[in-house]
Every structure is written in structure tokens, then in C-alpha cells.
């Protein structure tokens, strides 16, 4: 089984959404982790918009990348430029991927406008993670 880490700045929104979708799309093909360079706690709006799409991330925790130092990852996906630049070294045969998704936590405006930003980011992350699983994890069966 493959080990996949999704890395973001605070492990509060984008990496949590990505973890939820990777677990959904990969099923038993991989063990999915998410972490941050910092820990900001899971954003309640991320939990809400994932529930809208039928995925429960309410039990996710915000974890620091150092917590996973003993795990041999096959893939590391950074979902923001800051995490990509600050990504620690992972020993072994690790393949890294990077996609800078917009940070919905920085959205400003009315509640509806902010939630729309979260939904837009969710959709982008969903498509990327679905493609990632199809391209990299279905081969492991």
C-alpha cells in the first residue's frame, strides 16, 4: 500500500480537503496523511463545505509535518507555495507533486462570498485529487 502525505502551511483547509478527497477516491489503495508546516486547527468552513459534498472531515486533526518523520512516504503533495518552499526532506524514494491552490481562509466579503471561495477551492482540489488517484494509485492494484 502506498503512503501519501498532503502538505500545506497550517493544515487547516486545503490539505484537509485534499486528505478527505484522497481517502474517498483512493479507498484501500493508499494510506493518506495531511500535515502542515505549522498547525492552525481544522477550519470549520472546510468541514462544512466537505459535508455539502458528502465527505465528513469533522474528525480530522491538524498535524505538524514532524509528527510523520518515521513514515516512508511514496508521494508528497504540496498544496500551497509556502509548503512547497518549506517542505522538509523526506528520505527514500519519494515523488513530490505541487499545485498551489488558492487559500479560501484568506477570502473576504460576505458570508456567502467567503463560502463561495471555499467551494471553488474545494472543486479545484477535488478534481486534482481525483486525477492524482487515477494516474498514480490505480496502478498499485
- What pLDDT, in 10s, does the model give residues 98-140? 999 999 999 999 999 999 999 999 999 999 999 999 999 986 4
Q: Residue 109, class by beta-carbon neighbours within 10 Å (0-12 exposed, 13-18 middle, 19+ buried)?
A: exposed
pTM of the shown model: 0.95
Catalytic residue among 8, 55, 57, 121: 8
Q: What is the pLDDT of residues 40-91, one digit of tens each?
A: 999 999 999 999 999 999 999 999 999 998 999 999 999 999 998 988 888 8
Q: Where exactly are the structural domains of the chain?
A: 2-136
Which residues in 1-141 belong to E strands, given as ranges? 2-8, 30-36, 75-78, 95-98
Report the topology of domain 2-136: Rossmann fold (3.40.50)
Q: How many degrees, rounded to 5, is the angle at CA 76 between CA 101 and CA 6?
A: 50
87 noted as active-site residue: yes
Active-site option among 26, 30, 79, 80: 80
Based on the residue annotation, tell me whether 13 is a catalytic residue of this protein.
no
Amino acid at each position: 500500500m502506498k503512503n501519501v502525505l498532503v502538505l500545506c502551511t497550517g493544515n487547516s483547509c486545503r490539505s484537509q480537503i485534499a486528505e478527505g478527497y484522497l481517502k474517498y477516491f483512493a479507498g484501500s489503495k493508499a494510506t493518506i496523511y495531511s500535515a502542515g508546516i505549522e498547525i492552525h486547527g481544522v477550519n470549520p468552513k472546510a468541514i462544512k463545505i466537505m459535508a455539502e459534498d458528502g465527505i465528513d472531515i469533522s474528525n480530522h486533526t491538524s498535524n505538524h509535518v514532524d509528527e510523520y518523520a518515521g513514515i516512508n512516504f511514496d508521494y508528497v503533495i504540496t498544496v500551497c507555495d509556502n509548503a512547497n518552499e518549506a517542505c522538509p526532506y523526506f528520505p527514500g524514494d519519494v515523488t513530490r507533486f505541487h499545485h498551489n491552490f488558492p487559500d479560501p481562509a484568506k477570502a473576504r466579503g460576505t458570508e456567502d462570498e467567503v463560502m463561495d471561495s471555499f467551494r471553488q477551492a474545494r472543486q479545484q482540489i477535488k478534481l486534482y485529487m481525483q486525477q492524482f488517484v487515477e494516474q498514480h494509485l490505480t496502478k498499485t492494484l
